[in-house]
Amino acid sequence: MLAHAMIPLALCASLAAAAALPLYADTPLSGAEFDAFATGKTLYFSAGGAPYGAEEYLPDQRVRWAFEGDECITGQWYEQAGQICFTYDNGLGPQCWYFYANGTSLTAKLAGDAAGQSYQARPGSQPLFCPGPKIGV
């Protein structure tokens, strides 16, 4: 009898833990959820399986972005109307995105993109490599 009583309790505990997690399949991450996922990580973005760029998420919603093979630019992100928006020190932006949890990675979709291109973002713990500007001829 005790073994049978433990099965429903274990099942209930599993269901309760699952219910505590937001449903990300169709629901974009909130700013707080995005912050909890990304801060302290570097996300490596790809589109159609090809590397696209990487972004390091620093404290206080600061970021460092580099397109694949390009120099780094700094900026910040903020939540606006359910979107995660980015502005950069070089004047690029704002660009607003929807981020969706996909296991241990994210799927990103640019807000207003009629083509619906999605980008995959896998996290890493190494800081973004930002070489200095090209010097010389």
Q: Which domains does the chain have, with CATH numbers?
A: 23-124 (2.40.128)
pLDDT band at 127 (very low <50, low <70, confident <90, very high): confident
> What whole-number distance in Å separates Cα of residue 71 and Cα of residue 131?
7
CA separation (Å) from 108 to 13, 34, 38, 96, 105? 31, 11, 13, 10, 10
pLDDT in tens, 55-106: 999 999 999 999 988 899 999 999 999 999 999 999 877 999 999 998 899 9
Top-confidence residue, 125 or 111:
111
Q: Is the CB of residue 105 less than 8 Å from the CB of residue 123?
A: yes
pLDDT-derived band at 114 (thresholds 50, 70, 90) equals confident
Per-residue pLDDT, 68: 85
In whole numbers, what is the pLDDT of the chain averaged over residues? 81
The reported pLDDT for the residue numbered 22 is 45
Amino acid at residue number 30: S
The letter for the amino acid at 21 is L
Which residues partner with 127 through β-bridges? none
User: Percentage of the chain with pLDDT > 90?
Assistant: 56
Higher per-residue pLDDT: 23 or 133: 133
pTM of the model: 0.75
pLDDT at 101: 93
